Structure 1
């Protein structure tokens, strides 16, 4: 079954040229309103610190300085502020979490579209574990940025300024102390940030390597045990895990260092304010001419730690910013299209060795196929396997591709499926959604046989599934399984033979109901009786459809009616049926 020919959307192609910081800003666009509302809730909760501290200072001044009975007004104000701050904090967290989930899903959709755009041939050469890390760990790294750092940055821009104005209104000396100590913290955070981003990038790279290494070893566990490599591979997994541990500890050291220095400067500033107020009350220091009241001193001491709290939160989440920048950079690097050109859905637009000429792929409404002076080279190969190939098929016409192994049969089918671009020449094909391709090594997912069939047509009824399975001779072996078509198979068709997996792929193709059928060795590894039954079913299904079948079977060649011999491109009649003796 062929994948859709997906082109990278224009917006995503232009986004690929953005810096990581600009990319983070672009990703926030779908959830920008919720993020702003969350930031507004956080800042409003921070602004309520002023009346809350004033209520406490009011009560302390009345009870301890004026020896009055506790008043209900400051206590009521304190209760209202506490409840409002709790409600705003919950609402802000809910909005931020909802926005983060939207952004994360949007990023995963973009990654998936770009993976489809790179094409199946490119994906074959990637480590599936490393690609999975892009969708998992790398996408999850954005949670701390939008849900933590972004909100803390907005809070730092507004809340400390409001608190500073409130403190200046009651005591200019305390305000000056806060104003002079504040710049030290962002300066240090900027210096730490350079190292944090580099360490986070190295940690993500180590995580990607470990994920890919571990996933590949899990898939090849049987082969590893067969060749007695279990101990060596276990040592390799241990080495990858140890590298990841060291990288993670380095990131944590930087994060703890940033937080420790932040706490040091904040504590030093609060201590300076407490020392100034204490010496003023003892009559040992007078910087403003009039002794500050007890309520003013309490108000300032309550707001001083809160003045640095947003900065402390920003420092705590600063490594989240570094991790997000590193994750976005790694995603762009892994999915970057060579020469800045968008993907075409057919893999690389240029093969090794350069172009022999311009490629012209034309999609047409009919089910005909025309190839004119086509040059084809498999991805990563050093030479062309097919050169100057020309042939044409009218709608409903059948063609068998024959020749020795390695002559280019599968390569030509991949080009006809839209997976592989030609280096030169012209191809005219039906639209991608009208093409059905059953490759030589079909991919079957973990799940039931019925689930794998429904991949081609999710809305198919149970009877349609059984009809397709019967036509492709799947029921011949499925009825012997414990649960028939509901029997669960492993990833990549584990539990089925190669011939059985091909029959499942062929049944999936029957459900797709394409106008152009591309089949790669559908009868390989089948006994003569099963092959004859399968070809008979294929003969019935392919009536009125265009069929191209790569095969070594003479019976399949005779069914097609004409044979294109590769690599020379000679077309001839199929071999005659062998005579049987009486």
Structure 2
């Protein structure tokens, strides 16, 4: 009783996962239907093909007909062979197109879901593991949609048609085929449970190894500096060995499944052949009319083809197990389910938003900000860094947030940007405004400086690009680079100093032309002359805009209208230098 109660939810969950997996095929359903139709029709043509061969054999070896008499069946045989080859090509082409569409749509959906999770959530994920979602996990679905789905349809339509044709000419052979057919699906079901579990473990091991390897590549310089190269190589080797063992377990199950399928199919064909041979020798007499050579050839030709779709289904059954495992890993990492295109679209259009938003009449005017009894806790922290914070910032105001390191300055900016939900209280920011955020540790992509700037405004002209770079003091160091703004930098700003990376992030904000500026330590690590020039540019650019700036710099306070002291939460007024 208890075993049944435990097994029932597992079966229900497995069926639910299978339905969600099939729902991914919605964008390519038409192509899959054409592929399935071509596969089924090609299977049905096996009956006339076998009939033509049996007719020719009967004419030549039994009725001693002239060679010219077999011209008609041979011509039909050639025509049917060409037709089956064409159908096979069309079916494979449609299936490949469908798989490509499914993979593309799934990768787009994964990217949208990752964006919808927000930057703070993504910080908890290993980038190497996320890369595996887009690569190996999506590719694991290829065998399912390109192989198992077609084989599943073929195994329903083709063997039944062949069985009817065989029953029409010989009931004994038809009975043998009918009684031996259930053995293969039964064994497939038993093997499939173990194959799915093994595939899931193999994908988890691959994800862990990819994340481990990607992290070590990024920290290669630090690893060499501390002399940990040999130890890290040993760790990578252990991870690779673990992946190898789990991959071999999956292959072992697949080979075992295929071997048993071939055994049952060969045994069944041998039973048919033995019956026909004993009947021809006169040792068996289960039929009324005599068994002709043509009928025997016809049955022998269709017997292995009767089991061929079942063998193909068995060969692709581990693809189904791998696809279900991949889907489970995708849903576990993304913390969502794939219930079809309609729900996917509904779930990804919601972008991260501040805790509380009010409508504004103007979409581009400077917004006012209201903070009421706000408590904030960084992701993963044990306690709040800000508690019961309240203040008002008027439209077009300039607020400098100051305080010791770790007091919550960056956390407050992340809340304004909509990255971090409030533990309690609320932040009121007008809806429809454009926000520009330059964090303390900006992310720069591998590529040119100009390409990194155009992330904020892809259609910006060269003049606009240079104006933003000049205002943010990017040209002060870019002019000395070999190719200026076209100079290629490494991922995360490799090749630049921290101050230079911040200036590029600030130039991106300038190029975006936002209504609300959120700047986190924009002048850190700058010499006094560069800092003064940058602050003048910020003061000029923030005219008609609302500015919130976290800073340790005393010079930066001179351009602020208000200063918020954390953690005390004291708000003081001062006259900004215009």
Q: Distance in 2 between matches of 1:433 and 1:118?
A: 21
Aligned to 1:151: 150
Aligned to 2:340: none
Structure 1 residues 156 and 419, CA gap change in structure 2 (3 angstroms): same
**Structure 2, unaligned runs of 5 or more:** 1-12, 338-346
CA positional deviation for 1:542 = 1.2
Aligned to 1:528: 528
Question: SS of the counterpart of 2:549?
Answer: strand
Structure 1 residues 371 and 55, CA gap change in structure 2 (3 angstroms): same
Aligned to 1:121: 120
Aligned to 1:397: 397
CA positional deviation for 1:336 = 1.4
Q: Distance in 1 between matches of 2:84 and 2:576?
A: 88
Aligned residue runs from structure 1 range 203-352, under 5 A: 203-336=202-335, 345-346=351-352
Q: Distance in 2 between matches of 1:234 and 1:423?
A: 43
The range that moved more, 411-420 or 375-384, is 375-384
Q: Distance in 1 between matches of 2:335 and 2:453?
A: 33
Aligned to 1:22: 19
C-alpha distance after superposition, 1:199-257 (max 9, x if no partner): 00100110110111011011111111111111111111011111110000000000000
CA-atom RMSD, angstroms?
2.0
CA positional deviation for 1:131 = 1.2
C-alpha distance after superposition, 1:484-521 (max 9, x if no partner): 11111111110110000001111111111110000000
Aligned to 2:91: 92
- 1:457·1:511 contact (CA, 8 Å) conserved in 2? yes
Aligned to 2:164: 165
Structure 1 residues 397 and 567, CA gap change in structure 2 (3 angstroms): same
Structure 1 residues 191 and 72, CA gap change in structure 2 (3 angstroms): same
- 2:360·2:432 contact (CA, 8 Å) conserved in 1? no
Aligned to 2:564: 564
CA positional deviation for 1:431 = 3.3
Aligned to 1:380: 380
Structure 1 residues 283 and 106, CA gap change in structure 2 (3 angstroms): same
CA positional deviation for 1:575 = 9.9
CA positional deviation for 1:290 = 2.8
Q: Distance in 1 between matches of 2:172 and 2:542?
A: 90
- 2:357·2:431 contact (CA, 8 Å) conserved in 1? no
Q: Distance in 1 between matches of 2:299 and 2:220?
A: 65
The range that moved more, 311-320 or 274-283, is 274-283
1:51 aligns with 2:35: no
- 1:436·1:512 contact (CA, 8 Å) conserved in 2? yes
Question: SS of the counterpart of 1:243?
Answer: helix
1:32 aligns with 2:29: yes
Aligned to 1:412: 412
**Residue from 60, 64, 84 that aligns with 2:57:** 60
Q: Distance in 2 between matches of 1:362 and 1:114?
A: 26
- 1:400·1:557 contact (CA, 8 Å) conserved in 2? yes
TM-score (norm 2): 0.92
CA positional deviation for 1:430 = 3.3
Structure 1 residues 18 and 252, CA gap change in structure 2 (3 angstroms): closer
Aligned residue runs from structure 1 range 510-521, under 5 A: 510-521=510-521
Q: Distance in 1 between matches of 2:15 and 2:116?
A: 19
- 2:562·2:573 contact (CA, 8 Å) conserved in 1? yes
Aligned residue runs from structure 1 range 346-495, under 5 A: 346=352, 360-362=356-358, 364=360, 367-431=367-431, 434-495=434-495
Q: Distance in 1 between matches of 2:241 and 2:360?
A: 55
Q: Distance in 2 between matches of 1:535 and 1:360?
A: 31
CA positional deviation for 1:360 = 4.0
Question: SS of the counterpart of 1:19?
Answer: helix
Q: Distance in 2 between matches of 1:44 and 1:567?
A: 75
Moved over 3 A (4+): 342-347, 359-366, 430-433, 573-577
CA positional deviation for 1:297 = 0.8
- 2:176·2:272 contact (CA, 8 Å) conserved in 1? yes
- 2:560·2:576 contact (CA, 8 Å) conserved in 1? no
Question: SS of the counterpart of 2:436?
Answer: strand
Q: Distance in 2 between matches of 1:396 and 1:52?
A: 82
- 1:361·1:426 contact (CA, 8 Å) conserved in 2? no
Q: Distance in 1 between matches of 2:154 and 2:190?
A: 21
Structure 1 residues 393 and 575, CA gap change in structure 2 (3 angstroms): closer
Q: Distance in 2 between matches of 1:18 and 1:570?
A: 58
CA positional deviation for 1:364 = 4.1
Number of equivalent positions: 550
CA positional deviation for 1:80 = 1.0
Q: Distance in 1 between matches of 2:216 and 2:64?
A: 76
- 1:396·1:546 contact (CA, 8 Å) conserved in 2? yes
- 2:453·2:511 contact (CA, 8 Å) conserved in 1? yes
Q: Distance in 2 between matches of 1:365 and 1:235?
A: 61
C-alpha distance after superposition, 1:267-312 (max 9, x if no partner): 1111111111111112222111332111111111111111011011
C-alpha distance after superposition, 1:297-355 (max 9, x if no partner): 111111111101101100110000000000111111112169xxx797559x9xxxxxx
- 1:185·1:262 contact (CA, 8 Å) conserved in 2? yes
**Structure 1, unaligned runs of 5 or more:** 1-15, 350-358, 578-582
CA positional deviation for 1:109 = 1.9
Question: SS of the counterpart of 2:482?
Answer: coil
Question: SS of the counterpart of 1:279?
Answer: helix
Question: SS of the counterpart of 1:192?
Answer: helix
Q: Distance in 1 between matches of 2:497 and 2:261?
A: 62
TM-score (norm 1): 0.91
CA positional deviation for 1:433 = 5.6
- 1:364·1:428 contact (CA, 8 Å) conserved in 2? no
